[in-house]
Amino acid sequence: MPDASSIQIGGVEFEGAWVRCQAQASFKPGEAFVKLAAEDTPRPLGFYVDTTLVRPGDLGSQETPGEVRVAVLGRDNGSATVQVLGEPVSFGPRITVPSNLFTSA
């Protein structure tokens, strides 16, 4: 499993971090569905990601607390803009999350 030290996107290296989420198995093998709390949205935002980017790795059909690996694009006043390395359900891959959701920097 990769550590959270750095992530490359388009040849550019970004800080990597683990962010708290709700996770469950997807319908596709090797894929997970994760939900993250984001600033300025009343509901968590959903993404389909590779299971190597999710902890714990043994997910079932029920939502469980977990962590997803993200690229940190910037930090500002108690929040961070991150890019989730997966397919967003209905919005862009970049979201702003509260800093208290980070489990590692």
Which pLDDT tens digit goes with each residue over 55-92?
987 888 999 999 999 999 999 888 999 999 888 786 66
Q: Is residue 67 part of a domain?
A: yes
Q: Is residue 35 part of a domain?
A: yes
Expressed as residue numbers, the domain containing 49 is 6-101
Total domains present in the chain: 1
Q: Is residue 1 part of a domain?
A: no
Quote the pTM value.
0.84
SS (HEC) of 53-87:
HEECCCCCCCCEEEEEEEEEEEEECCEEEEEECEE
Which pLDDT tens digit goes with each residue over 1-38?
444 588 988 889 999 999 999 999 999 999 999 999 88
Q: Is residue 36 part of a domain?
A: yes
Q: Is residue 90 part of a domain?
A: yes
